[in-house]
Amino acid sequence: MEAIIQKSKIYGEIKAPASKSYTHRALICAALAKGKSKIISPLISDDTGATLDVLKKIGISVKKKKEIWEVKGGNFSVPKQDLFCRESGTTFRFMIAICSLIKGKCQLTGEISLLKRPIKPLINALQNLGVDCEEKISSVVVENNFVGGKTKIKGDISSQFISALLLIAPFSQKQTELKLTTVLESKPYVLMTIDVQKKFGVKVKHSNNLRKFLIQKQRYKPCNYFVESDWSSAAFLLAIGVLAGKTEVKNLNIKSAQADKEIINILEKMGAKIKTRKNAVIAEKSKLKSIKIDISDCPDIFPIICVLCSQAKGKSEISGIKRLVLKESNRIKEMEKGLARMMIKTKTRNNKFIIWGSKPRGAVISSIDHRIAMAFGVLGLVAEERTIIKNAECVSKSFPEFWEHLIYLKANINVN
């Protein structure tokens, strides 16, 4: 599928989609709780669909109703086939840990791009907690025997490793102690996990710097969980307003713990016209100034920050980028290549991505990475000549309605 975009004037109100991160976590906690839970207003996407599919294969019943998923949790069974996690890193990492609670053998696999992403630190940590697990060429094999105890893990590779361990820790035969050997990056994502666990009756003790976690044996309790909207997706909708007209993004939790709520502070520092209301943010076309920013805790909005910086006066520096080579694609290289095609000068140096703002020209952008495709879709709205996004369907990973939202906002776009 291709999206062909030309310079547009945008004006309108739009509702942000539900949070992918919270949907994953709510589903997992509901599966761990014995009884019936309701996930209200979940995100329906490729990634959350992957988690749903895997949970069903290990014996969890999920009934889909209008804007509600009813999850009957607490009883796992050995899967009769491999657990295919598609391209979802969250699904893969969380479910490797969850499978350590199943009395039997589980084999998890996924798309080639997923299997290239790091998993060894999580495997080692689980082995220290008594789990029989092994990384193979195209899969991870897990058998039960999760005992708990003490383990260590790096905090600067993926916060999903820490979240995965926290999710299963309450099932330990004794207290579980988790220590991080490096500073934790993407801290808000771990705090999101702890927050969802709390809603399902589980308490996690941790140090102020999130380098040490203590979890007692306890039980998850079923509940009705409302999924708030996604700040990662909202960042693109706000950028559209700032660059191409005016957008009012509704249904947002202004007090959210999501990492990507940082987009508000970033836009304000760049001089954007931003107004926050009780449950909405208004973004208007603005003259942007360059910025220096560390995105260690919010790496998912790197692509759209790059687009914003490309339209800011002067030279911007984005640091804290080292983990971006481990995402769905090497996002540093993808943004560098795509921006160059659209006549934007960039340079990578010493864990920094440097961008010189200038007028973009339309180009053909081909990527299988959802956030890369959306970012250049936004830049295409202000570029001279048309921009063509190849593999445009990849947005279904996190924001299936993205192109439809642009059409609704009267963007000059054709999708076929």
Give the residue, 54 or 137, on which the prediction is more confident.
54
Contact between residue 202 and residue 313 where contact means Cβ atoms under 8 Å apart: no
pLDDT classification of 360: cutoffs 50, 70, 90: very high
pLDDT classification of 27: cutoffs 50, 70, 90: very high
| pLDDT value at 144 more than 90 | no
- Taking residues 227-242, what's their average pLDDT? 98
CATH number of the 3-17+229-415 domain: 3.65.10.10
Q: Which of 141, 114, 143 is nearest to 130 (CA)?
A: 143
Could you give the residue numbers annotated as active site?
300
CA 121, 125, 130, 131 dihedral sign is negative
Same fold, 3-17+229-415 and 20-226: yes
% of the chain at pLDDT higher than 90:
95
Contact between residue 266 and residue 291 where contact means Cβ atoms under 8 Å apart: yes
pTM, 2 dp: 0.95
| pLDDT value at 327 more than 80 | no
Q: What pLDDT was estimated at residue 328?
A: 77
- Taking residues 106-134, what's their average pLDDT? 95
Q: Going by DSSP bridges, is the β-strand pair 292-294/315-319 parallel, antiparallel, or unpaired?
A: parallel
Q: How far is CA 359 from CA 154, 379, 381, in A?
A: 41, 10, 12
pLDDT classification of 350: cutoffs 50, 70, 90: confident
- Taking residues 172-199, what's their average pLDDT? 96
Dist. CA 272–CA 288, nearest whole Å: 6
Tokens of 270: 């760049």
| pLDDT value at 356 more than 80 | yes
3-class DSSP string for the chain? CCEEEECCCEEEEEECCECHHHHHHHHHHHHHCCEEEEEECCCCCHHHHHHHHHHHHCCCEEEEECCEEEEEECCCCCCCCCEECCCCHHHHHHHHHHHHHCCCEEEEECCHHHHCCCCHHHHHHHHHCCCEEEECCCCEEEECCCCCCEEEECCCCCHHHHHHHHHHHHHCCCCEEEEECCCCCCHHHHHHHHHHHHHCCCCCEECCCCCEEEECCCCCCCCEEECCECHHHHHHHHHHHHHHEEEEEECCCCCCCCHHHHHHHHHHHCCCEEEECCCEEEEECCCEECCEEECCCCHHHHHHHHHHHHCEECEEEEECCHHHHHCCCCHHHHHHHHHHHCCCEEEEECCEEEEECCCCECCEEECCCHHHHHHHHHHHHHCECCEEEECHHHHHHCCCCHHHHHHHCCCEEEEC
Dist. CA 67–CA 101, nearest whole Å: 29
| pLDDT value at 323 more than 90 | no
Contact between residue 246 and residue 61 where contact means Cβ atoms under 8 Å apart: no
Distance of CA 241 to the CA centre of its chain: 22
Average pLDDT, the chain: 96
Q: What is the pLDDT of residues 377-398, one digit of tens each?
A: 999 999 999 999 999 999 999 9
- Taking residues 3-26, what's their average pLDDT? 97
Q: What is the pLDDT of residues 200-220, one digit of tens each?
A: 999 999 999 999 999 999 999
- Taking residues 90-118, what's their average pLDDT? 95
Give the residue, 325 or 313, on which the prediction is more confident.
313
Domain ranges of the chain: 3-17+229-415, 20-226
pLDDT classification of 156: cutoffs 50, 70, 90: very high
Of the listed ranges 132-136, 217-221, 329-333, the least confidently predicted one is 329-333
CB atoms within 10 A of CB 268: 12
| pLDDT value at 134 more than 90 | yes
% of the chain at pLDDT higher than 70:
100
pLDDT classification of 100: cutoffs 50, 70, 90: very high
pLDDT classification of 159: cutoffs 50, 70, 90: very high
| pLDDT value at 243 more than 80 | yes
- Angle at CA of residue 152, ends 301 and 21, nearest 5°: 30
Q: What is the pLDDT of residues 252-297, one digit of tens each?
A: 999 999 999 999 999 999 999 999 998 999 999 999 999 999 999 9
Q: What is the pLDDT of residues 332-346, one digit of tens each?
A: 999 999 999 999 999
Q: What pLDDT was estimated at residue 1?
A: 94
Q: What pLDDT was estimated at residue 405?
A: 97
Q: The CATH number of 20-226 is which of 3.10.450.50, 3.65.10.10, 3.30.390.30, 1.10.472.50?
A: 3.65.10.10
Tokens of 149: 């105890």
Dist. CA 336–CA 341, nearest whole Å: 9
- Taking residues 138-164, what's their average pLDDT? 95
